[in-house]
Chain A
Amino acid sequence: MNRNELLKPLLPSTAPLVITQLVSGYEKDIDIVKGVSLELQPRTFSCILGANGCGKTTFLKTLLGILPARRGKVHCNNTDILSLNESQRAKYLAYIPQAHRPPFPFTVSDVVRMGRTPHLSTLSRETVQDREISEACLDQVGLLKLAQVPYTLLSGGQQQLVIIARALAQQASFLIMDEPISSLDYGNQYRVLDEIAKLCELGLGVLMVTHDPAHCFHAADQVIIMEDGFFISAASPQEAMTSQSLSALYHLPVSVQRIKVPENRIQSVCIPLTRYS
């Protein structure tokens, strides 16, 4: 099998993930996510923007089955995702958390191979194919030569790339990410973001929570704006992220400007206006 075959998601990657009227929360009688609907297409990079505490992380946790949904449905290709067990769900959705340090110094290749867990039998025997897939995923993010290095010795950016390779090895159709690049330095943020954007070309759908409008302008195909448990818009970055909508979202005067960048492209930037008012 060639490398691109190994990297492709296992399940039909043409079907969208359809979320309808999802409700969830932690405390009894208090809903945090208050009925949200969304369609995630494969080959599409979607970003969620929202103020702190608006329910972004709760929404992701519900989608991933970490938190039970109170109402609502999540479907993909006629499969009810919410009723699946952990290992079945892991074949649809893979998760990339915020950067963190694990307590033990696993090697990079060990970490990537953990992505194969949902595909292993009850007795957890790894096959040659499992190893090949893990290797191809590590190569995709460009870290194959660090395979034997302890994961804990890598830089933050490299660690996130390893986690992305792990999620790829899971061969899920959709990648769900919770601020995967917030804690990285400026260079690493965009290097990792570009790697994520490349994955869309392989046929994966990406859903990423971020706090930086620049990330959305840089890579997103679709931007979802979340406020107080609701999605108030889901559109292309140019439509969803205007001066008015972002000022209202963050309660801060901002201006979205379109500027010319080299190669005659037009790029939008978001500039806070607090110092000038």
Chain B
Amino acid sequence: MENFSRNHLKLIGIRQRFFVRYWPVLLIFPVFFFFWSFSLGRYPIGYQDLVRTVYLHYSDPSKIIDLNMETVLFNIRIPRVLVVLMVGAGMSMAGSAYQGMFRNPLVSPDILGVTAGASFGAALAIIQKQPISRIQLFAFAGGILAVYCATRFERMIRYDPVLALVLGGILIKGLFNAGLSVVKYLADPEQSLPAITFWLMGTFTDVVKKNIPQVAIPLIISMILLYINRQRLNVVSFGDEEAKTMGVRTKHVRLEVIIACTLITASSVSICGQVGWIGLIIPHLARSLTGPNYRVLLPVSAILGSCFLLLCDTVCRNAFAVELPIGILTSLMGIPFFIIIFKQKASKA
């Protein structure tokens, strides 16, 4: 039974044990990225001006000399940075929760068809020339509707509700993607069609101050709901039957996790369109740092996800003369990154 020498034991997960205990150290990164992203942009703001303007905004607004700077900061840049941080954190938490629930490390938050539903909803609103707030509402509703339909298949495969959910997701995704094609086909090729195409690539350009509560409220509620279920998520990853015998009401946990992840993904996608890969890659990165225990994995996923998305968004805003759609960048940066993580894991094993 002695397969493990002392050295071997020491080497296994020395890094993991560090992060399991001291993961709050990682909170430095979002704070750093926040200020870094803040100062960059088409209207560059030095750190000194930044601190002074923020200070005066709250203490004595009449003393502000550069009103433009105040507008840029408080109406455009702060909301955008905050929304990016929240979306990144939410999508990553949703991804890691789903990977445990479906017992499959290759699952992403849109496995139940949220993104397909949201895209269809947004496209519908776009061809009707609706304002941006209405597009967001349609996307949100479409996402929720798709997941609701996908969960209706639970009874289709008896005694394996998880497999039934996966199948439901595939079917509903196909259905809504077909719907999206119909809308695109009918769309006016001069205006609506390009608008739909750009929406699908994803961007945070349209984020304004009043979007903050619209993202923050559902996301924060869902994140708390996921964190409360952390121990049950651990148990559920051992399979439905085993989890039941360990005292977990798997049906309730599934429902709560699906509701939380759907709220997160639908409200994210409705604000910024499709931002792929983050919900798949970040949980892997987090797991390689902390191990699979959700008590630590959920907060660390949130921290890393928010940093990654903010990094991508900042590059999108600043790298080129025209703003790059963020969906392109998360894929371009995420996939090579994913390959590197996997190669490292393979070489260790």
Contacts and interface: CB of A to CB of B under 8 A. Distances in A.
Contact of B249 (A87, A104, A105, A110): A87
Contacts of B159: 26
Contacts of B248: 86-87, 117
A253 interface: no
Interface string B175-207: 000000000000000000000000000000000
Interface in A60-114: 61, 64-66, 85-91, 93-95, 97, 100, 102-107, 110, 114
A86 B247 contact: yes
Contacts of A87: 247-249
Given A104-B287, A117-B247, A122-B228, A148 B17 contact: yes
Contacts of B241: 61, 64, 66, 95, 97
Interface residues of B, number: 37
A35 interface: no
Contact of A118 (B100, B237, B242, B247): B247
Contact of B245 (A94, A103, A110, A191): A94
A149 B228 contact: no
Given A114-B231, A114-B238, A153-B12, A105 B245 contact: no
Nearest to A67: B159
A65 B291 CA distance: 31
Contacts of A26: 158-159
Interface in A160-181: 166, 170, 176
B291 A105 contact: yes
B293 interface: yes
A9 to B, nearest CB: 14
Given A66-B245, A90-B246, A102-B237, A117 B232 contact: yes
B103 A106 contact: no
A103 B105 contact: yes
Contacts of B228: 122-124
A155 B3 contact: yes
A25 to B, nearest CB: 12
Contacts of A155: 1, 3
B230 interface: yes
Contact of B244 (A66, A88, A103, A148): A66
Residue from B158, B229, B242, B247 with most neighbouring chain A CB atoms (10 Å): B247
A95 B238 CA distance: 12
Interface in B1-35: 1, 3-4, 9, 12-13, 16-17
A166 B247 CA distance: 12
B13 A104 contact: no
A110 B232 contact: no
Interface of B: 1, 3-4, 9, 12-13, 16-17, 100, 103-105, 158-159, 228-232, 234-235, 237-239, 241-242, 244-250, 287, 291-293
The 7 closest A-B pairs by CB, nearest first: A118-B247, A90-B247, A95-B245, A104-B292, A87-B247, A124-B231, A66-B241
Interface of A: 26, 61, 64-66, 85-91, 93-95, 97, 100, 102-107, 110, 114-115, 117-118, 120, 122-124, 126, 145-146, 148-150, 153-155, 157-158, 166, 170, 176, 191
